[in-house]
Structure 1
Amino acid sequence: MLKIALPALAALGLVAFAAQTMATDAEQTSQPVDGMGWHVNHDGDETRLFYGVANSDQLAVMMSCHMGDGEIVTLGAVQPVSARSAGSVEADIDPLSGELIETRALSAHDPAMVRLARSGRLGVQDETARFDLSATPQERQAIRRFLDDCGTSQA
C-alpha cells in the first residue's frame, strides 16, 4: 500500500506548512485551509478517508482500511492524536521528497475515531503543533460512511 500511496504524498511539505498555520497553540480549533476538506474514495475492498484538496496529491492525512477489518492505517504530514494505538509505527522514505513518512495503525474504536464520528473533529499533531481538523455536515456524512465501511458502526 505504501508504494502506491507514496507518490500521492509528494506535496506533503506544502500541506504540512498549510496545516501548521491553522494552529497557534495546542488547543486551537482549526479553520479550513482554502480548498482543503474531507474526502472518501473506494478502491475494491479498500476505502480511504483523507483531508486534503480533492483530485490532487495535496493532503495532510490519509486513513485507509479494508472493509470490515476494524483497523485503520494512517499516514501523512499530521497524525491523529490517539489515546491508544494498535500495531506498530512504521516509517519509510518518500522517494519524491526524501522525507520520512510515518504510518500508524489505529483501532477503528480508538477515541480519536469515535470523536471524529460523533463531533466531526479529528485532533492531529505534527512535529510542532496540535490542532483539530473539522468537518462540515456533508463531510461528516462521508466520514460516517468511511467508518461504517471499516466496520465500526459509530455513527
Structure 2
Amino acid sequence: MRVLWLPVLGLAALTSACASVDAPEPVATAATSAPAPVAGYDWHYTPDGDTARLAYGVEESDDLRLGLDCTAGSGKVELASLAGTGAREIHLESGGETERFRAEGEPSEIHDGDILTASASTAEPVMQRFRRVGWIAQWVGGEREVYAPHPGSEAGVERFFAMCG
C-alpha cells in the first residue's frame, strides 16, 4: 500500500510546483505587424498644383476603394468611398485607432451601391496613425478591407499628409 502512495504524492508535489510558475506572455505578432499588400492594388499619390489626391485602388482604372483629396496646408481631407446603397458612414481604422465619419451618399453610375463622401481633419487620430504606419483599413458592409502599400508607395502617404498640413 505504501508503494502506491509514493507516486501519488510525487505527482501532487510536481503539479503544485508547476501551478506556481507564471505562464509566459503571448508574443503579439499579427496585431503589431503591418498587413501585407494586395496584388494589383496600391496607394497612388497625385499632386496637382495646390491640391493632391491619395487613392487606393488599381492604377488607371475605376477600381477605387478609398480616395483622399486635400488642398495644400488646409489640414482637411475629403474622403470618397464606395458602399452599399443607403450607407451614410465611412468607418476607418489604422494601427489601433478607429473613427466613423458621417457621409453624404449618391448612387454610383459605375458600381453597385453608393459613392460616399465625408470630410476629416488631418489631426484625427486615425489619420495621424495612417500617416505613421502607412496603411489603413475600412469597414464596408461589415467586412474589414485593409489597404496596405507596396514597398516604395508608402512615401506617397507621407508626401500627401505633408502637403495637406
The TM tier, using the shorter chain, reads 0.5 to 0.7
Alignment of 1:42 with 2:42, yes or no, is: no
Q: Secondary structure at 2:152's aligned position in 1?
A: helix
Q: Secondary structure at 1:138's aligned position in 2?
A: coil
Q: What residue in structure 1 maps to residue 122 of structure 2? A: 108
1:90 deviation in Å?
1.1
Query: Runs of 4 or more off by more than 4 Å in structure 1?
Result: none
Q: What residue in structure 1 maps to residue 106 of structure 2? A: 92
Q: Is the 8 A contact 1:120 1:136 kept in 2?
A: no
Alignment of 1:83 with 2:83, yes or no, is: no
Q: CA RMSD in A?
A: 2.4
Q: Could you tell me how far apart the structure 1 residues matched to 2:71 and 2:104 are?
A: 18
Q: Which structure's relative contact order is higher, taking Cα pairs within 8 Å and 6+ residues apart?
A: 1
Q: Could you tell me how far apart the structure 1 residues matched to 2:145 and 2:58 are?
A: 18
Q: Is the 8 A contact 1:117 1:140 kept in 2?
A: no
Q: Is the 8 A contact 2:76 2:120 kept in 1?
A: yes
5+ long unaligned stretches in structure 1 = 1-26
Q: Could you tell me how far apart the structure 2 residues matched to 1:48 and 1:73 are?
A: 9
Q: What residue in structure 1 maps to residue 139 of structure 2? A: 125
Q: What residue in structure 2 maps to residue 55 of structure 1? A: 60
Q: Could you tell me how far apart the structure 1 residues matched to 2:37 and 2:105 are?
A: 28
Specify the code of the residue in structure 2 equivalent to 1:51: Y
User: In the superposition, relative to structure 1, how do residues 38 and 104 fare at CA in structure 2: closer, same or farther (>3 Å)?
Assistant: same
TM-score computed with the length of structure 1 as normaliser: 0.68
Percent pairwise identity: 29
Q: What residue in structure 2 maps to residue 134 of structure 1? A: 148
Aligned match for 1:73, one of 78, 83, 90: 78
User: In the superposition, relative to structure 1, how do residues 36 and 98 fare at CA in structure 2: closer, same or farther (>3 Å)?
Assistant: closer
Q: What residue in structure 2 maps to residue 150 of structure 1? A: 164
5+ long unaligned stretches in structure 2 = 1-30, 84-89
